[in-house]
Structure 1
Amino acid sequence: MITMDNIIREGHPTLRKVAKEVPLPASVEDRKTLENLLEYVKNSQDPEIAEKYGLRPGIGLAAPQINISKRMIAVHLRDENDELYSYALFNPKIISHSVKKSYLTSGEGCLSVDRIVPGYVPRYAKITVKGTTLDGEEITVKLKGLPAICFQHEIDHLNGVMFYDHINEENPFDEPENGVKIER
């Protein structure tokens, strides 16, 4: 089971590397890693388990965050309509995106960042992601709102990008032009 002790923090070199593609079909080891990523995100949202193991709540986790530089992410969250988005993907890739931007009014956080970083993180309002599931099925998912933001945050980890790299240093609360505000 992954705990906060397994999650590396900002400053660790793995967080700035471009992660390697996972050879498919995935090895037993890679499948187990991806299963563990999803398990962490689910456990971290369960108040009893989170308290017992000292887990910070998260809605997504990428393999580089546990010091495995491979293209794997897990996401587990509900959108504003209470629809569940629960995915564990090998080699996820954004294959299309909107011109329009969106951002979380509360800003973004990260399990690998132990501090509050104030500012808006502009993201694409809508994206389409292609990836391979634990069952080896290639899927395409269309996303908007919080799920789209979460996927972009996790895919950034695969490319060595941290969420605060997107914040405007001169004006951290600069709203993207015609940006869609996402409340969380």
Structure 2
Amino acid sequence: MILMKNIVREGHPALRKRAQEVPFPLAKEDRKLCDDLLEYVKNSQDIELSERYGLRPGIGLAAPQVDESKRIFALHIPETGKDPLSFVAINPKIISHSVEKTYLTSGEGCLSVDRDVEGYVPRYARITIKAYDTDGKEFKKRLKGLPAIAFQHELDHLNGIMFFDHIDKKSPFKDIPNAIPFDRD
């Protein structure tokens, strides 16, 4: 089980490296990594489990965040009135995106960043993605809103990019042209 002590923090070299493609069929340790990443995000959203194990709540976790340079991440995003969007993405790619941008009005956070970083992080409002599941089966999804933002955040981790790299340093809350603000609440 992944705990907070297993998640590397800002400044760790694993967070700034481009992660490696993962070959199929998955090695046993890669399959376990997939399961562990998804288990963390699910457990971190369970109030009882997050308190018992001291887990910070998160909706996504990428392999580089646990010091594994592999192109794998997990997302688990509760959606009102629907089943949660929950999946592991192996060797993920954005195959198309909107011109229109979006950003979280509250800003983004990260399990590897122990401080509040204020500012807007511009993201594509809508994306079409392609990735592989643990059985090596390719899947495609169209994402918008929080799922699109979270996917781009985790994909950045696989490329050695941190969310705050996207924030305008001189004017963190400056208007983002052609963007629709996204409010999580």
Report SS of the residue matched to 1:25. Answer: coil
Hey, what does 2:67 align to over in structure 1? Answer: 67
Hey, what does 1:98 align to over in structure 2? Answer: 98
Letter in 2 for 1:121: V
Q: How do residues 35-54 of structure 1 correspond to structure 2 at under 5 angstroms?
A: 35-54=35-54
Letter in 2 for 1:18: R
Maintained 8 Å contact 2:25/2:135 = no
Residue identity (%): 62
Count matched residues: 184
Report SS of the residue matched to 1:26. Answer: coil
Letter in 1 for 2:174: D
Maintained 8 Å contact 1:72/1:88 = yes
1:31 to partner: Cα distance: 0.7
Report SS of the residue matched to 2:61. Answer: strand
Q: If the length of structure 2 is used for normalisation, what is the TM-score?
A: 0.97
1:6 to partner: Cα distance: 0.3
1:43 to partner: Cα distance: 0.2
Maintained 8 Å contact 1:79/1:146 = no
Q: If the length of structure 1 is used for normalisation, what is the TM-score?
A: 0.97
Runs of 5+ in structure 1 lacking a partner?
none
Distance 1:57 1:30, change over 3 A: same
Deviations 1:43-96 (A, max 9, x none): 000000000000000000000000000000000003466452101111011111
Letter in 2 for 1:16: R
Take 1:158 and 1:15, find their aligned partners in 2: how far apart are those partners? 8
Maintained 8 Å contact 1:145/1:182 = yes
Hey, what does 1:148 align to over in structure 2? Answer: 148
Maintained 8 Å contact 1:76/1:85 = yes
Q: How do residues 99-138 of structure 1 correspond to structure 2 at under 5 angstroms?
A: 99-138=99-138
Maintained 8 Å contact 1:102/1:179 = yes
Distance 1:125 1:62, change over 3 A: same
